[in-house]
Amino acid sequence: MTSLADQGLSLVKEILRCPDYLQPMREDALRNIFEEMRALNEANQKDVRLISAADSERSDGAPDVHVVLYVRHQLLLRLRRCIMAYLDGRLKVIREFRWAFGPVLTKDLKANMTDGEQKWFIDYSASLGRYMSSIGETGVDLLQHSKPPKSLYVEVRVLEDYGDFETEDGQVVVLAKNSTHFLERSQCEKLIRQGVLEHVVT
């Protein structure tokens, strides 16, 4: 009880320390905090019962516990705020994943996500997709054209083996490591963002 929500603070500090990387969920710390909150709540319930009992007897003998009640209550609120900020911070990182890595995450990215967070990612992906297809008549891909296009085709170098890539006109290109290709800009921009291709500028 003397720790004054220090455990909650340590969670918040973790979020601040690595703003672009998802650490494993700190289940133990969360469980400890929940335990602490339960203890605080029980202590408060006990004191409230004490006060109301004293009130009904109209005696002045009851100790003045209002301040300690208030302090415990504020501790509860504070812990809640810390946990909320922690979870919110994690979701922000996961949201960035969607924009950087695309809708399908690799195993090592998923490793540090909880089941709930994975479900959130899928839901977010779906609602982003719905939103993008609702703009205009044919829909707009917001991940496309992050910079004003200067040319229709760009030269790209493949950084990692990707396999077959089917272009919109039906041609199949084999993206093997270290090969270079001349592709339509709109089709390979996402792969560049994901780090599969590198844009070669001369």
Partner 1 sequence: MHRSLNQSSLEESRIRRSARTVCEFEEYFSCDEILMLSERTPVVVSKEVSRLGFLDPSSDEENLKKNTKLELPLWLAKHLYNMYCVDIQLPEAFSSYSVNVMRADSSIVDLKRLQPNYYQVGRQLMALLPAEAQQISDLLVTTYKGRFRKIFDCAQNADIKETDKVTSSFDNEERAMFFEGQKVQLDLQRWRDRSQRNKINTADLVVNHRKRKREALRETNSSTA
What whole-number distance in Å separates Cα of residue 34 and Cα of residue 39? 9
Q: Is 65 in the site for partner 1 (CB under 8 A)?
A: yes
What whole-number distance in Å separates Cα of residue 171 and Cα of residue 55? 84
Q: Is 89 in the site for partner 1 (CB under 8 A)?
A: yes
Helix (H, G, I), strand (E, B) or coil at 89: helix
Q: Which is nearer to partner 1, 106 or 134 (CB)?
A: 106
Selected binder of partner 1 within 29, 50, 101, 124 (CB under 8 A): 101
Q: How far is CA 103 from the centre of its chain?
A: 14
What whole-number distance in Å separates Cα of residue 9 and Cα of residue 86? 9
Count, residues near partner 1 per rule CB under 8 A: 47
**C-alpha to C-alpha distances, 148 to 7, 186, 189, nearest whole angstrom:** 47, 11, 12
CA count, 13 A, side-chain hemisphere, 178: 0
Q: Is 94 in the site for partner 1 (CB under 8 A)?
A: no
Q: Is 71 in the site for partner 1 (CB under 8 A)?
A: yes
Q: Is 100 in the site for partner 1 (CB under 8 A)?
A: yes
Q: Is 82 in the site for partner 1 (CB under 8 A)?
A: yes
CB of 82 to partner 1, least distance (A): 6
Q: Is 155 in the site for partner 1 (CB under 8 A)?
A: no
Q: Is 147 in the site for partner 1 (CB under 8 A)?
A: yes
**C-alpha to C-alpha distances, 140 to 7, 133, 134, nearest whole angstrom:** 44, 6, 8
The DSSP bridge partners found for residue 173 are 165
Q: Is 79 in the site for partner 1 (CB under 8 A)?
A: no
Q: Is 195 in the site for partner 1 (CB under 8 A)?
A: yes
**C-alpha to C-alpha distances, 1 to 82, 125, 186, 188, nearest whole angstrom:** 16, 41, 58, 56
Q: Is 144 in the site for partner 1 (CB under 8 A)?
A: no
Task: Give the interface with partner 1 as residue ranges (CB under 8 A).
Answer: 1-2, 4-5, 9, 12-13, 15-16, 20-21, 63-65, 67-68, 70-71, 74-75, 78, 81-82, 84-85, 88-89, 96-97, 99-101, 108-109, 146-147, 150, 154, 189, 192-195, 198-199, 201-202
